[in-house]
Amino acid sequence: MERKTVILVVASKGYQPVEYQETKKVLEAGGVDVITASDRPGMAIASNNTTTQATLDLNNIIPDRYDGLFFIGGPGAMDHLDDEISYKLIKKAADAGILYGAICIAPRILAKTGVLQGKHATGWDGDNKLDSVFDECGVLKKPLDVVVDGNIVTATGPAAAKDFGQAILKLLQEQPEE
């Protein structure tokens, strides 16, 4: 497999560390280069106060230069990533035909962009609001831990992070060589 590169997007404050770390670990073990991006460059702070270095700012991402773009959830995702910058980035990724997706609460951000309309997806529903968000945005909810629909991967949360990473890796491995 030609070396692939994906971007994992975390909130600058309040990303979910297990979702980030497990997904990254699976991808890197599979030979994928992982770049961490955030709404602010520098140290991103997880919900448990651990940190990771975000080397790329969302404003500087050109999606078609990468093989995938994936949003990590956590309590800060809706505060720091649910905005026009993220929406434009997700739409560009969809238009470029690269893999994209989200885990935990972050699939709601994808839904709001319209890229999940008519697609099967899943996400975190601890607040019992996922159905209404998905219904409003025309998303077909599947009650599974990880859902793959074409080049889109969504997952429910920390317990599904390893499987989320494996689903992404499988799609990357199935892509034809350029």
Q: Could you tell me how far CA 127 lies from the centroid of its own chain? A: 20
pLDDT of residue 51: 97
Q: How many alpha carbons lie under 13 Å from residue 122 in its C-beta half-sphere? A: 17
Mean pLDDT of the chain: 96
Q: pLDDT tens across 46-101, in order?
A: 999 999 999 999 999 999 999 999 999 999 999 999 999 999 999 999 999 999 99
- Calculate helix-pair angle for 161-174, 17-29, nearest 10 degrees: 30
Identify the band that residue 177 occupies on the pLDDT scale cut at 50, 70 and 90: low
- Per-residue pLDDT tens digits for 101-134: 999 999 999 999 999 999 999 999 999 999 999 9
Please determine, for residue 4, whether its predicted confidence score (pLDDT) is greater than 70. yes
Q: How far apart are CA 107 and CA 86, in angstroms?
A: 12
28 vs 92: CA distance, rounded Å: 25
**pTM as predicted:** 0.97
CA-based nearest residue to 136, from 162, 155, 108: 108
Class of domain 5-174: alpha beta
